[in-house]
Amino acid sequence: MQFEIDERQPIYRQIMDALIRQIARGHWPPGGKLPSIREVAEGVRVNPNTVARAFQELERTGLVETRRGEGTFVTIDTKVIKDCREETAREVWAEFLVKIRELGFTNEDVQRLAAELKEEGKR
């Protein structure tokens, strides 16, 4: 796992979000094993304590579970993953709406744009 961190935001939060997106996308399948804390720490080049914190927070969401001595695994409860995916999508959508409204777009404009883009995609 590798990405640019933004030092102005909590780093554990960024690691956690990145993992959630990867799980939502199915990069780590249900029941699959996540990379170890050390591996992530080396990839992102941060302190392992920070990664451990990201894993702890992630565990609290129920999306992953840590088995002692074995590692951290994605939950096999696909409903949790699905819910999480939906929720993340809603967040992304909400962010998108904020940005597009800053351009003066109304809900109708957005729907029109979506339809146009869909047509373009077909061609």
Partner 1 sequence: MTIPAVILDNVVKRFPLTKALDGVNLAIDPGKVVGLLGHNGSGKTTMLKIIAGLRRPTSGRVEVFGMAPGVETKKRVAFLSEVNTYYDWMTVDGLLNFVKSFHPDLCLEKAAELKEFMKLKGAAKIGALSKGQQARLKLVVGLSRQADLMLLDEPLAGIDPPSRAKILHALVGELRQEGQTVIISTHEVKEAEPIFDHVVFLREGRNVLEGDAETLRAETGHSMEELFGEVLE
**Residues in the site for partner 1, rule: CB under 8 A?**
5, 7-13, 38, 41-42, 44-50, 53
Least distance between partner 1 and beta carbon 60 (Å): 16
Least distance between partner 1 and beta carbon 93 (Å): 24
CB count in 10 Å sphere of residue 70: 8
- If the CB atoms of residues 41 and 64 are measured against partner 1, the closer one turns out to be 41
- If the CB atoms of residues 24 and 41 are measured against partner 1, the closer one turns out to be 41
Helix (H, G, I), strand (E, B) or coil at 80: helix
Question: Dihedral sign, CA of 71, 40, 23, 96?
Answer: positive
Question: Dihedral sign, CA of 21, 79, 93, 57?
Answer: negative
Least distance between partner 1 and beta carbon 13 (Å): 8
